[in-house]
Structure 1
Amino acid sequence: GLGTKNKVLIEILCSRTNSEIWAIRNLYEEKYGESLEDAVKGDTSGHFEHLLVSLLQGNRDDQSYYVDAEKAKEVS
């Protein structure tokens, strides 16, 4: 159902890098002839729509940060 599709969409968009999101957007548009953002806007509304559209922008800070496990243990 739609709830399952929404969960999958959230999982994908939240776990991909900006470049992966852009690749997904481009492939979607090539395959379906419309932007993924327009498709999401057509199927969602409100805060949920805003969240998905924001994630689809592909402009999050996705820098990797090194975490020193030993220092993290000392702090906790």
Structure 2
Amino acid sequence: MPPQYAYQRVAEDLIKRIQSGEFPPGARLPSRAELCEQYEVSSFVADRVFLILKMQGLTESLPGAGVYVKESAPGQ
């Protein structure tokens, strides 16, 4: 299997965590800084992860408040 980009690895992990219920609908996801620390990635990677989750309809951003799992997230 070919190696994954860091953003793919982090996004897949967060998707699994959302689908498992670790981050239920309405839950706040870790901040950009927290993702960078937890996964040892750059802020660019963290931003890309948030974009992927949003494009998949899993999250919504609230300016100044963070990124949250959508109430009607696919797979929930």
TM-score (norm 1): 0.36
Query: Which of the pair has more CA radius of gyration?
Result: 1
TM-score normalised according to structure 2 size: 0.36
Structure with a larger share of its residues in strand: 2
